[in-house]
Structure 1
Amino acid sequence: MRKITRTLVAVGAVTAVAAMSACSSGGGATRSGDVSFSTEATGTLNAWGFENADDVGTSRLDYAADQLGDVEVEIDQTSFDAQKFTTRVAGGNVPDVVQMDRRFVATYASQGLIMPLDECFSIHDVDPASTYYESVLDDVTYDDGVWGVPQFYQPPAIILNNRVLEAAGVAPEEIDTSQPDVLLGAIEKMYQESDGNPTLIGFDPVAGGQAGLWILGAGGMLVEDGKPTLDDESNVAGLELLKRITDAQGGYAKVKSFTDSFDTFGENNQFVADQVGAQVNAQWYVNVLSPYVDALDISAVPFRGVDGEPFAVAGGQAFVIPANAKNPDAACSWALELTSLDAWKAAGEARAATLSETPGAINAGLFTGSPEADTFVREQYVGESGNAGFDQTISTYYDAVENGETFGASPAGQQIESELNNAVQSVLLGDKTPEDALADAQNAAMRAYDQAVG
């Protein structure tokens, strides 16, 4: 029997995770020895995830359904919401498996709200250490246990607008985040303004959404043994560099106002319109640009850490099993089937079929969280596109994925990210010094940490 029921329900925005402690049993993380799994997957499985599923998602859902013929899968296909989840936990009405950002996983693990999955992996003969990138596995590892089944890994790199660089006499090698003075010199050559407002920015660091990348890449440290370390003095350098970059282009407020006006997903996007010389982007953005290949001249360079080597941070989702799940055996089997090599092969085939229906479409590959799956999809479906710039860009992302580091798993993971973004904004706007902003962020993050583990 093969059946998938997909339920679409509108939900509110994601809320702060601090309220979760009110729903916790107070018992802390459940140890691996207290949880057992079986390979017998039967009955009804209630899942939450796969909102707006594309061909990659639907092909994997179909594959898992074929493998688990005795399981009836019912899916709430809405985005994860912390308030909704904790409300369901408090009411005893939890799904069997939930898809969420990996930054949430350690928070729920510390509260005892999800199950450790070491035995889930073990009874299915899956070795997490050899299945996933180390940085991806680190994201879901807490208190010596693995608490989530990872999927996806979107590495960052810097996409270059070759037309803008060439017009300004800037070489790609000058877009080097490990050499601030060289980078700022290149920015100065490319930057253009009118009446004090940017009309072309040399380099968009995407400060509001990539704060962790800049801090860690400059040698900083956000988490140590699960505890926030936002006020560590090593975090100052990344903030100072971000401020130098935005100040060199009219200041953060003007840069943000300008970048907010970009037609990011449209035919007049910032690369087509020559509004940017270089920009930090996650790998998925290559797919956004590919329909406009004839109007573009792009290439890419890696984001480089303080040592000059390519640098990336892990990011993506994971499947977790709530502590009071009614069908954990089916949940374990389903999550592992969805992220198996064969499931990713099916996804790679589905994506290639979709692209074949669009003349000139470029296959940028899949970045799954699994080295073996990434290699298979690349070798099978990612060939020369006929556009050297796009091919080089795609290759740069594949190189970047091998150099990943984790943000650091913490019971206050989501709060750390939120407070770091607040600190970055206050520094870039000139409201606080980096030291004061990071100290305030640390105090707030530690309150969340103490509440989570207390």
Structure 2
Amino acid sequence: MRRTHQLVPLAAAALLLAACATGSSDDESDDATYDREAELSGALTVMGFGAVDEIASTRLDRAEEALGGDVDVELVEGDLDIQQFLSSVASGEPPEIIYADRKQIGTFASRGAIVPLTDCIDGEQVDTSVLRESALDQVTFADEIWAVPEFSLVQIVQANGDLLRQEGLTLDDVNGSDWDAVAEANRALMGRQGGDLSVIGYDTKLPEFLPLWAKANGADLISEDGRTAQLDDPAVVEALEFAVSVYDEQGGFSDVKAFRDSADFFGEGNQFASGTLGAMPMEQWYVSVLNDVSPQAPVVFDTFRDTDGEPLAFASGSAWAIPKGSANPEAACRFARVMTETESWVAAAQERVRLRGEKEGGIFTGLLTANEEADEQVRAMVEPSGEEKWDSAVTAQYDANDHTFSLPANPAGEEFETAWEDAVNRVLNGQQSPQEAMAQAQEEAQSALDAGWAEWEER
């Protein structure tokens, strides 16, 4: 029987450090023996995951079947509570498996909170050859794989086609390939009424999309080996200056954010349906939201593009990892394999297609995962919708998924992200110039990286 509990998600990333656990070794201990054909038993507590929709529940059913009736699966739902997880590792009573954000994996690995999956991958015959490189990079630390990547998130440009046409604009003006064109489109699309912002011309989605704008300008926030912060790179500063200037043209970030937050983002009165947003880069999952709640909205889509006009997306997503001290690592490994294997994704997609077919006007827009083989097979299941706007959204998201980059795993992932996000927020709040903010962030991030790598190398 599956029992479900709800945990309060951890809001402050800083608590990760306060609750940080240090493992006694870096290898898969507890005499775990992984064998795809072995009969398994015992308990399997899954932290950070819930069967919230048919994509999750279909794969969960397959995983439970593969584990056999002697394994009791218990879900601890809600986002992974980092403090509780690390405290459980420190106490020697962790869950058997966790569902985590891929950006957390390097930190968890360096702290000894999770184990490398070399033996797991070999014994359960996890096919890593089908995994997308950018996703695998996020879970590879010190030349070992520490988690099995699952869903993938990418950004595409989403815009109001009516507003574009009214101003004589096209998607080429807002897809990021020409920053001067974006700035001009922003000025043309934005609206004010009675002194207040009434239409957001362009939303650059700061602070979270700084890596995307920087990469579009030819810069990475961190070196490929995850050891050197590059936050004060002139190209990063230039990208930040531009993305902030788009808000400044509209009265400042506070005005844009207040108006953005007042929107019915997940409802039929969303910004596109109400004509109060011109364009923005946004994760691909929002396409399905728009199709569900406002199928008649005049939306148009394209891939986000770098300044050379090439498609680009900043990949992120989830992953399965086995905690240090897991009481049932064999079951955890099989669970991770089945949840992410091609057959499971295809079965889940088939169920979504079936359910969408029962809904009037419902369409299937595909799935994006870290499994390239599964993505290819699932994309073949996407039928033309009969509406160019939704078909173009599908094309855009799959093109984006084929042109991704990610930040490499490192032992200070949360601290590194906090450094640059805080810097962006200081600029948005008018506290510092982009150059000053990124110079401060560079020092903070590099200090955290140096300390993290030093601690890892001493172990």
Shift of 1:403: 0.2
2:29, 2:81 → 1: CA distance?
29
Note closer, same or farther for the CA distance 1:432–1:355 as it changes in structure 2 (3 Å cut): same
The equivalent of 1:349 in structure 2 is: 350
The equivalent of 1:371 in structure 2 is: 372
1:293, 1:78 → 2: CA distance?
28
Kindly provide the CA deviation profile for residues 349-382 of structure 1, in whole angstroms up to 9, marking residues without a partner as x.
12112212210011111112111111111112x1
* Higher mean C-alpha displacement, 252-261 vs 288-297: 288-297
Instruction: Indicate whether 1:6 and 2:28 are aligned.
Output: no
Kindly provide the CA deviation profile for residues 242-293 of structure 1, in whole angstroms up to 9, marking residues without a partner as x.
0121122222111111111111101111000000111211011011101245
The equivalent of 1:140 in structure 2 is: 139
Cα pair 1:17 1:82 within 8 Å, conserved: no
TM-align CA RMSD: 2.1
Shift of 1:435: 1.8
The equivalent of 2:187 in structure 1 is: 188
Kindly provide the CA deviation profile for residues 409-452 of structure 1, in whole angstroms up to 9, marking residues without a partner as x.
12111222222221112223332121211122233333433443
Cα pair 1:35 1:119 within 8 Å, conserved: no
The equivalent of 2:399 in structure 1 is: 399
Note closer, same or farther for the CA distance 1:158–1:35 as it changes in structure 2 (3 Å cut): farther
Instruction: Indicate whether 1:452 and 2:448 are aligned.
Output: no
Note closer, same or farther for the CA distance 1:241–1:234 as it changes in structure 2 (3 Å cut): same
Shift of 1:203: 1.2
Note closer, same or farther for the CA distance 1:168–1:443 as it changes in structure 2 (3 Å cut): same
Instruction: Say which SS state the counterpart of residue 153 (structure 2) adopts.
Output: coil
The equivalent of 2:124 in structure 1 is: 124
Cα pair 2:59 2:344 within 8 Å, conserved: yes
Note closer, same or farther for the CA distance 1:245–1:297 as it changes in structure 2 (3 Å cut): same
Shift of 1:35: 7.9
Aligned 1:22-421 pairs, distance under 5 A: 23-25=20-22, 30-31=26-27, 37-39=33-35, 40=38, 41-51=40-50, 53-69=52-68, 70-128=70-128, 130-224=129-223, 225-227=225-227, 228-380=229-381, 382-421=382-421
Note closer, same or farther for the CA distance 1:132–1:169 as it changes in structure 2 (3 Å cut): same
1:24, 1:294 → 2: CA distance?
48
Shift of 1:16: 2.1
2:336, 2:14 → 1: CA distance?
24
The equivalent of 2:439 in structure 1 is: 439
In structure 2, list runs of 5 or more residues that go unmatched: none
> Percent same amino acid at aligned positions?
35
1:165, 1:323 → 2: CA distance?
53
1:354, 1:222 → 2: CA distance?
41
Cα pair 1:161 1:297 within 8 Å, conserved: yes
2:8, 2:169 → 1: CA distance?
47
Shift of 1:233: 3.1
- So what's the TM-score if we normalise by structure 1? 0.93
Instruction: Say which SS state the counterpart of residue 409 (structure 1) adopts.
Output: coil
Instruction: Say which SS state the counterpart of residue 295 (structure 1) adopts.
Output: coil
Cα pair 1:49 1:79 within 8 Å, conserved: yes
Kindly provide the CA deviation profile for residues 375-415 of structure 1, in whole angstroms up to 9, marking residues without a partner as x.
111112x1111211111112111111000101221211122
Shift of 1:36: 5.4
Give the counterpart letter for 1:38 in structure 2.
Y
Shift of 1:151: 0.5
In structure 1, list runs of 5 or more residues that go unmatched: none
Shift of 1:21: 6.9
Give the counterpart letter for 2:26 in structure 1.
T
Shift of 1:211: 2.4
1:274, 1:138 → 2: CA distance?
39
Give the total of aligned pairs.
Answer: 448
Kindly provide the CA deviation profile for residues 50-101 of structure 1, in whole angstroms up to 9, marking residues without a partner as x.
2362111011100111122142212212320111111111211101100010
2:309, 2:217 → 1: CA distance?
10
Shift of 1:197: 2.3
Instruction: Say which SS state the counterpart of residue 6 (structure 2) adopts.
Output: coil
2:107, 2:18 → 1: CA distance?
10
2:190, 2:377 → 1: CA distance?
41
